[in-house]
Amino acid sequence: MTPFHLAFPIRDIDQTRHFYGEVLGCPMGRFTETWIDFDLFGHQMSGHVRADAGAASASGTVDGHSVPIPHFGAVLQMDDWKALAARLEAAEGIDWIMQPTLRFEGQPGEQATMFLRDPSGNALEFKGFSDLGQVFAS
């Protein structure tokens, strides 16, 4: 797998460090007073302080559920997804958009999913697959 890089807006370095580092468990990379890097399941995420972080987003519909657009996250093996879901459900103050649930049950692409917001208002989705070969199934 080749990692991707995503730069995203944040309001506060310390809140972001706590959320991504402590709550999600992402190793932290380089940082300054205006940006911070994290390893999000093998991908480079760079939070940049911006006054407009958390601006209102639109939504779309997937499998009958409203989902925030834009959003980002990671696709995980099911055991890793379950561990992250348990970690987040045990944490205090999680801004849930959609609690952990199963989507497309019994259909191609069956997946576990959860949506939440980080302290800057960015929407995140984490998907879990029992078979990663089903990620692009139709």
Does residue 62 lie within any of the structural domains?
Answer: no
pLDDT at 29 over 80: yes
Query: What stretches of the chain adopt beta strand conformation (E)?
Result: 5-10, 28-31, 35-40, 43-49, 58-62, 65-69, 72-77, 95-103, 111-117, 123-129
**Residue 85 is assigned to a structural domain of this protein:** yes
Mean pLDDT of 97-114: 93
Q: Is the pLDDT assigned to residue 34 strictly greater than 70?
A: yes
Q: Is residue 36 part of a domain?
A: yes
The enclosing domain of 43 has a CATH number of 3.30.720.120
Give me the pLDDT at residue 20, please.
97
- Indicate the DSSP class of residue 97: E
d(C-alpha 37, C-alpha 138), whole Å: 34
Identify the pLDDT of residue 59: 79
Q: What's the number of domains the chain is made of?
A: 2
Calculate mean pLDDT across residues 7-20: 96
Tell me if 88 is assigned to some domain.
yes
- If we measure between CA atoms, which residue out of 10, 70, 3 comes closest to residue 40? 3
On whether residue 57 sits in a domain, the answer given is: no
Containing structural domain, residue 33: 5-49
Instruction: Judge whether residue 46 has pLDDT over 80.
Output: yes
pLDDT of residue 56: 66
